[in-house]
Amino acid sequence: MWIPIVNRFTCTRKQLPIIMRKIQKNNMTPILDYSNENKSQHQKNFHEIMDLIQTYPNRHIAIKLSALNVQNRNDVETYLEDITKRAIQNKCKLLIDAENYEIQDDIYDISDKFIKHYNKQQVNIYKTYQLYRNDSLNVLKHDMFCERDYFLGFKLVRGAYYNEDKKHNILFDSIDETHDNYNNGIDLFFNHSKQQDKLLCATHNEDSVLHAIELLKTHKTKQVHFAQLMGMSDKLSKQISNEHHVFKYVPYGDFQDTLPYLIRRLYENYPMLLNIFK
């Protein structure tokens, strides 16, 4: 059953192939995102992701480590090891999402460990940087400039955990500072990345998208792509997809599983409501 407001932003497992075909018909690429974030169901979530990779090879798969019980390092690393190996076997790329402040340091640590091991030949794993945080650009700089024998996948987002993160005094005081910080992250990639590093500009902000496109005119690289959420900024996505590689995040799952995602996107990150009909 299709529910208009829900199916604008998410879909069920059965609806997923239909949504994927629709996105591909519009010259875009789906990023598959199983939306169950319940850590008490970490075994179920692990098996769902493993089946997803097996069913849809040669895809980009988003992963939230909270869903794999990130608080238990043994659990999450065991799961991620199996997921990464299957992803590489099936030519899938993994995008490890950023999450709220209380678990983000653990997510960084685990992301770094797996990137150092599995990105030796090419980018198989992306790390996510939340540029509404006033410390994220320094993290990005550290990752960019440290001595490394591996490649980096940089996924830049502004951030979707405002209500949870603001109490920790790590966010910029104004939206303009966040915009500047995001664009500085783009500049950093264009000026200092290695040849096989990759950048995914995951944003609905048209100014940031145009900023990256302008830099692409003088930097001849195929390592920069764009991403927007399903149901958000569709006009912008379609417009730039004529000349650039555009991804659409497709969150899927049972309604009760996707509800936290819907609430977070439409409540905590309320400015994105302005992008629904763009």
Q: Is 82 or 275 the better-scoring residue by pLDDT?
A: 82
DSSP bridge partners of 226: 201, 246
Q: What is the Cα–Cα distance from 129 to 97, expressed in whole angstroms?
A: 9
Res. 126: pLDDT tops 90: yes
Res. 258: pLDDT tops 90: no
Q: What is the Cα–Cα distance from 95 to 268, expressed in whole angstroms?
A: 22
- For CA atoms 32, 35, 41, 42, the dihedral sign is positive
- What pTM does this model have? 0.93
Q: Residues 150-172: pLDDT tens digits?
A: 999 999 999 988 888 999 999 99
The residue count of the chain comes to: 278
Q: What tokens appear for 100 in the block? A: 């709220």
Q: What is the Cα–Cα distance from 175 to 2, expressed in whole angstroms?
A: 35
pLDDT at 174 (0 to 100)? 94
Tell me the chain's radius of gyration from C-alpha atoms.
17
Q: Do residues 94 and 86 touch, judged by C-beta distance below 8 A?
A: no
| pLDDT mean over 129-154 | 97
In angstroms, the Cα distances linking 100 to 115, 133, 264 are 21, 11, 11
- Model confidence at 8, pLDDT cuts 50, 70, 90, reads confident
Mean pLDDT of the chain: 92
pLDDT at 26 (0 to 100)? 95
Query: CA-based angle 43:34:4, to the nearest 5?
Result: 140
Q: What is the Cα–Cα distance from 87 to 54, expressed in whole angstroms?
A: 8
Q: Where does 100-203 have alpha helices with state H?
A: 101-118, 136-145, 162-165, 175-192
Alpha carbon 110 to its chain centroid, in Å, reads: 16
| pLDDT mean over 173-185 | 96
Q: Residues 65-90: pLDDT tens digits?
A: 999 999 999 999 999 999 999 999 99
| pLDDT mean over 254-277 | 61
| pLDDT mean over 186-201 | 96
- Model confidence at 269, pLDDT cuts 50, 70, 90, reads very low
